[in-house]
């Protein structure tokens, strides 16, 4: 009997009568390929120790990668190590227990966003070691149990016939804007450590297939009234609230700017009107002065008649003068 990982690969270059070549199925990315010691797609090794090391780093965190679309999930510790190594950015798409297995960007994922220096709820700058965000108070908690998916309890719902389409496919608008979702509860069931097979022959054509015991299902969660508990949908609520506050601040700022602009425009109009009025008065004054000066040039001045002056009597001659006396000649 062939191994569960070996799959026949058709070879179009050989005749149909010859025995078909054997291929190997990569246990990491499910790529069927020719027998080798490592996968040609993801680069994973096929030896037993690599399989065990990969399983130790597996978890419920998944990263969207077009080059490796079927790659295994990460544990929280392995994902944090990859983030610190620079393999992912804050815009990387991922899902995990804190997002209830819905896709989200890393900067909006609880338990991951603070490793990029962002708060998952309000996107404010936050320190990696900070217990909570200083802006909104969100706590960057994470799920340490790698076997916990973070899925809520099964609850069958049926939308009403007259329900309007919501802007979210995950929850109603009222739930996003008003209601707070109950926090995600972790499973307390401990899984047994895996055991290696007693006889393993490392070979490129052989893949050991082993399944761990199925962990006990998580107990049903009970909604808590404590508002300090946060859930996977809390980022949506905080994001909408932060956006509403930002829009309100923007509206106030625009209203203030518009008011100041209006007052400045009215003041400028009044000042320009006053300047125009003063200039008009100055022009009128200059015109009136010019008219008066022109009129004064053409006006006739009155003739001033000077009366004749009376002749003064002759001066008497001094006494004892040697001058001959004047004789009056007829």
- The 3-state DSSP class for residue 71 equals coil
Q: How far apart are alpha carbons 94 and 105 in whole angstroms?
A: 6
Q: What is the pLDDT of residues 100-134, one digit of tens each?
A: 899 999 999 999 999 999 999 899 999 988 888 98
Q: How far apart are alpha carbons 33 and 217 in whole angstroms?
A: 36
pLDDT at residue 21 in the model? 59
State yes or no: pLDDT of 150 exceeds 90. no
When pLDDT is cut at 50, 70 and 90, the band that residue 242 belongs to is confident
β-strand pairing of 93-95 with 62-63: antiparallel
pLDDT at residue 74 in the model? 92
State yes or no: pLDDT of 40 exceeds 50. yes
pLDDT at residue 16 in the model? 42
- The 3-state DSSP class for residue 81 equals helix
Q: What is the pLDDT of residues 92-102, one digit of tens each?
A: 999 999 998 99
Domain definitions of the chain by residue range: 21-181, 246-298
pLDDT at residue 286 in the model? 86
Phi, psi of 244 (to 5 degrees): -65, -40
Q: How far apart are alpha carbons 279 and 158 in whole angstroms?
A: 79
Q: What is the pLDDT of residues 185-232, one digit of tens each?
A: 444 444 455 444 444 444 444 444 444 455 555 555 444 444 444 444
State yes or no: pLDDT of 5 exceeds 50. no
Q: What is the mean pLDDT of the chain?
A: 73
pLDDT at residue 142 in the model? 75
* Alpha-carbon distances of 159 from 117, 164, 168, 171, rounded to whole Å: 39, 10, 14, 11
Q: How far apart are alpha carbons 34 and 3 in whole angstroms?
A: 15
Q: How far apart are alpha carbons 318 and 56 in whole angstroms?
A: 158
pLDDT at residue 301 in the model? 60
């Amino acid at each position: 009997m062939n191994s569960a990982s070996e799959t026949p690969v058709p070879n179009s270059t050989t005749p149909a009568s010859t025995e078909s070549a054997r291929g190997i199925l990569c246990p990491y990315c499910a790529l069927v390929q020719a027998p080798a010691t490592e996968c040609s797609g993801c680069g994973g090794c096929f030896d037993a120790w690599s399989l065990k090391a990969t399983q130790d780093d597996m978890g419920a965190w998944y990263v969207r990668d077009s080059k490796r679309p079927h790659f295994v999930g990460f544990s929280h510790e392995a994902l944090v190590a990859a983030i610190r190594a620079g393999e992912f950015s804050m815009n990387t798409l991922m899902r995990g227990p804190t997002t209830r297995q819905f896709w989200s960007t890393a900067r909006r994922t609880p338990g991951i966003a603070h490793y990029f220096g962002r708060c998952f709820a309000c996107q404010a700058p936050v320190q990696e070691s900070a217990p909570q965000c200083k802006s909104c108070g969100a706590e960057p908690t994470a799920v340490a149990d790698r076997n916990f998916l973070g899925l809520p309890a099964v609850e069958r719902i049926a939308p009403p016939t007259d329900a309007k389409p919501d802007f979210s496919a995950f929850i109603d608008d009222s739930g996003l804007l008003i209601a707070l979702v109950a926090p995600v509860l972790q499973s307390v069931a401990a899984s047994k450590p895996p055991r290696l097979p007693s006889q393993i022959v490392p070979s490129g054509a052989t893949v050991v297939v082993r399944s761990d015991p199925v962990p006990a299902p998580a107990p049903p969660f009970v909604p808590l009234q404590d508002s300090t508990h946060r859930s996977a949908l809390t980022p949506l609520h905080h994001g909408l609230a932060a956006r509403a506050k930002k829009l309100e601040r923007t509206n106030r700022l625009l209203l203030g700017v518009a008011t100041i602009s209006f007052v400045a425009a009215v003041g400028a109009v009044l000042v320009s009107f006053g300047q125009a009025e003063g200039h008009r008065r100055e022009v009128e004054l200059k015109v009136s002065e010019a008219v008066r000066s022109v009129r004064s040039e053409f006006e006739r001045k009155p003739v001033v008649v000077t009366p004749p002056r009376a002749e003064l009597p002759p001066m008497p001659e001094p006494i004892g003068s040697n001058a001959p006396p004047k004789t009056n000649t007829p």
